[in-house]
Amino acid sequence: MIFEFAMFFLSFLPLWLSIIFMDLINMIRDSKNLWTEKLSVVGVLSGIIICSFVTWKWLHKDGSQNREKYEIISAKEERFITAEFMMTYVLPLFAFDFTRWDGVVLFLLFFYVFWFLVHRHKYFCTNLALEIFGYRIYECELKNGNQTLSKLVVSRNELNAMAGSTIRTRKYNNDYHFEVIEKSGEEQ
């Protein structure tokens, strides 16, 4: 659940960076509520740092829990999935007035209701932070023994050029898997 929330929080990275920018501008202009801007900047930056660390740890976790081997039959990169998420879910949140406490409360209410739904349904929020660090999402046809499956795989490798190769994945939910990058000497 901690990784899920970290991914959810980081999926709103453009919004958080905009809030920090607005607060810094208000601080430079000598706002009447200087302490609220300082608290906001510290809180948002702390959230970004903590959630980035949690995400990094989950992506680099050793062990075999939730890992499966698949042969890639075909893979196609989902090029616009992050942009679609941002346009649908992130952009409308800029309508909230973050300079007023009632706007912040309304935003937090909406944000936590959205988090409840994301968590309850194990929805994967595509993530600009993952894109920045080189991860892409691929729609894959995978083979496991005699069974062929369609899964979305998040990977730093170009899976569309790896047909016939075997990959190991770590399950996030029923649809999304993260490719596990093997460390040298790790058992296959």
Supply the pLDDT for residue 183.
56
The helix (run of H) or strand (run of E) holding residue 176 is: strand 176-180
| Residue ranges of the chain whose pLDDT lies below 70 | 31, 33, 62-66, 82-83, 85-86, 89, 99, 125, 181-188
* Residue 151 backbone dihedrals phi, psi, to 5 degrees: -140, 155
Query: Considering the domain boundaries, does residue 188 fall inside one?
Result: no
What is the domain count for the chain? 1
pLDDT value of residue 188: 42
What does the pLDDT read at residue 185?
46
Q: Is 97 part of a structural domain of the chain? A: yes
Per-residue pLDDT at 8: 87
Q: What span, in angstroms and rounded, lies between the C-alpha atoms of 45 and 43? A: 6
Query: Side-chain half-sphere of 89: how many Cα atoms within 13 Å?
Result: 23
DSSP sequence for 133-175: TT-EEEEEEEEETTEEEEEEEEESS-GGG-TT-EEEEEESSSS
- Write down the pTM of the prediction: 0.76
Where does residue 130 rank: exposed (0-12), middle (13-18), buried (19+ CB within 10 A)?
buried
Within-domain flag for 11: yes
- What is the predicted pLDDT for the residue at 50? 95
Any domain includes 55: yes
In a domain, 116, yes or no: yes
- The Cα 169–Cα 163 span in angstroms is 15
| Domain limits for position 139 | 2-180
Inside any domain, residue 18? yes
CB of 110 closer than 8 Å to CB of 104? no
How much is the pLDDT for 125? 67
Contact of 20 with 39, CB cutoff 8 Å: no
